[in-house]
Structure 1
């Protein structure tokens, strides 16, 4: 049975996945950079996996791509623009050949035509309800699992609705103090989950939540 999964989402010890004021020159918000103390484990795991090295962080990193047939993300993860599109020149953070290589569904209140990229990635922009987008993603995944890529707000929405089967968080030993949390204001939505794995590496603690 195909699943809905979240992988490799890094949060600080006080629960923040991003700082405030996300924008073009600060994709993760003020005080949080790509490759800094929050995300250094991910960068190292990426290099180690490419070099054929193994380890706890590499294993969790690699899991994130196994058997994934479609991805769902929020507008903030796709790009820094807010509100109506000034134009359609922005095509994501990842260049001409994004790393997905399958259909990606972007939640947004401001629609635009589907964007086909090199390597098999097509971004679909939708304002449909979560359940409708998830059905479309499962259809596109053709029997494989669907990944909720982020950001924090989209993950929270799917958690509140009880639609995520597996959630992997990498908890970094740093404090950010402000910004956007993943596990925030979930209400009864979090009651249906339990911690199935808690594994530490020298860099982060990997926590996996699954349905009860």
Structure 2
């Protein structure tokens, strides 16, 4: 039943609200000055496993990352995220699930090592989400990014749970997550707060106004 599938968005974010720096390009996918958003992830054991590497730190941060991997059955992302990530992911991307890429430029689906497939969807965010839910096998669908893609799903009220990994850094400029959502009140309830030396992990669930 696709109606029971939970739609998530899970992102690292700076203390001043940026999920990427300035100057995002194909060769600089995180943007200028955004290293603190991602450095904390790179030595986690669960992240290294997904990159085909061994070792790494087994700590609470790694547990939360592994929880996300294990719970996610399909992913939706924008074409910019796909284009900027493609050369870094290589032939064995870390998703290990079906990935649906929003795009205006159709291309054939791609099958990669480790169980990742990329399907390019040209008929909008609702179609991509429906297809992801069908493919998720009862697990979560994650709206991976970039910022504009996540905003579109937030604005339409299509995200059920939001997890933010707040990194103790101020970027000063870049791509903000919550700009341009449009009018309308969005109420969330707190599910969990986990603080570690690397990040503060905040998990929220969206609830209907008045509940």
**Normalization by structure 2: what TM-score?**
0.84
Three-state SS of the structure 1 residue aligned to 2:96 is coil
**What is the alpha-carbon distance in structure 2 between the residues aligned to residue 125 and residue 74 of structure 1?**
10
Equivalent of 1:124 in 104, 119, 123: 119
1:62 to 56, 60, 66: 66
Structure 1 window deviating more from structure 2 (62-71 vs 187-196): it is 187-196
Q: CA deviation at 1:191?
A: 1.0
- Residue 44 of structure 1 aligns to a residue whose secondary structure is coil
The corresponding residue for 1:39 is 38
Which TM-score applies when normalising by structure 1?
Answer: 0.84
Whether the aligned pair in 2 keeps the contact of 1:172 and 1:205 (CA below 8 Å) is yes
Distance 2:47 2:101 in 1: 30
For residues 71 and 47 of structure 1, what CA distance do their matches in structure 2 show? 18
Of 15, 18, 21, which residue of structure 2 is paired with 1:19? 21
Match of 1:162 in 2: 157
Q: CA deviation at 1:10?
A: 0.9
Quote the Cα distance in structure 2 between the aligned partners of 1:91 and 1:18: 17
Once the two structures are superposed, residues 156-197 of structure 1 have per-residue CA deviations (whole angstroms, 9 ceiling, x without a partner) of: 111111111111111111111111111223234561323322
Q: Counterpart of 2:5?
A: 2
- Alpha carbon RMSD of aligned pairs, Å? 2.2
Q: Which ranges in structure 1 are unaligned for 5 or more consecutive residues?
A: 81-89
For 1:29, which of 2, 27, 31 is the aligned residue?
31
Q: 1:48–1:54: 8 Å Cα contact kept in structure 2?
A: no
**Gap runs ≥5 in structure 2:** 50-54
| Counterpart position of 2:52 | none
Aligned residues: 199
* Partner Cα distance (2:12, 2:63) in 1: 15
Distance in 2 between the 1:53 and 1:21 partners?
Answer: 31
> 2 CA distance for matches of 1:29 and 1:129?
26
Cα deviation code 1:128-150 (max 9, x no counterpart):
22222111111111222211111
